[in-house]
Amino acid sequence: MWIWTNDAPAPHQRALFRKRFRVEKSGEYVFRISAESDFTAYCDGIGFLRGQYSDYPEKKTYTEKKLFLDAGEHLLALAAYYVGAHFQTCYPSDVPGVWCEMEDLFESDGSWRAIADPAWRRAPPDAADPHLGSLASHAGPRALASPPRKAQALL
């Protein structure tokens, strides 16, 4: 299931997601993710995967990575960026979203916690560069100030 925050979709958004999960048996698990547009994935606070949109938004792709996980509780966090505007190097879809799964453990659904990144500041639309896209700034630690809410399920 594709998910996003409950905020109205708009160009140049960044969202944060998290999911707590339990592993009963230590071992190697396959993580898969797809995002519209870019993502960074973290497990227990350690970044382990980055990726970007497909060159053709109508042809969804995903990225896959094997992780060794010890038995016990874990926290998966995602930072996703939605371009939402056309420029020379990007042709995004009209809907932001993230899909992921950890093989045999979970898939993205409405149980995830999600929030628009409160430290992310969009530039006005007229400040976008037609070649590189929108301009932005990030206010660092303020991203942790707002409590996350349940993710919105997208069809």
**Distance between CA 128 and CA 20 in Å, rounded?**
37
Under DSSP, is residue 125 helix (H, G, I), strand (E, B) or coil? helix
Q: What is the pLDDT along the chain (155 residues), one digit of tens a residue?
A: 999 998 888 878 889 999 999 999 999 999 999 988 889 999 999 999 998 766 666 777 889 999 999 999 999 999 998 887 766 556 666 788 899 999 999 999 999 999 988 887 665 545 555 555 544 555 555 444 455 566 665 54
Show the tokens assigned to 63: 């990225």
> 84-110: per-residue pLDDT in tens?
776 655 666 678 889 999 999 999 999
Give the model's pLDDT for residue 155: 43
Calculate what percentage of the chain has a pLDDT beyond 70. Answer: 68
Q: The pTM is what?
A: 0.79
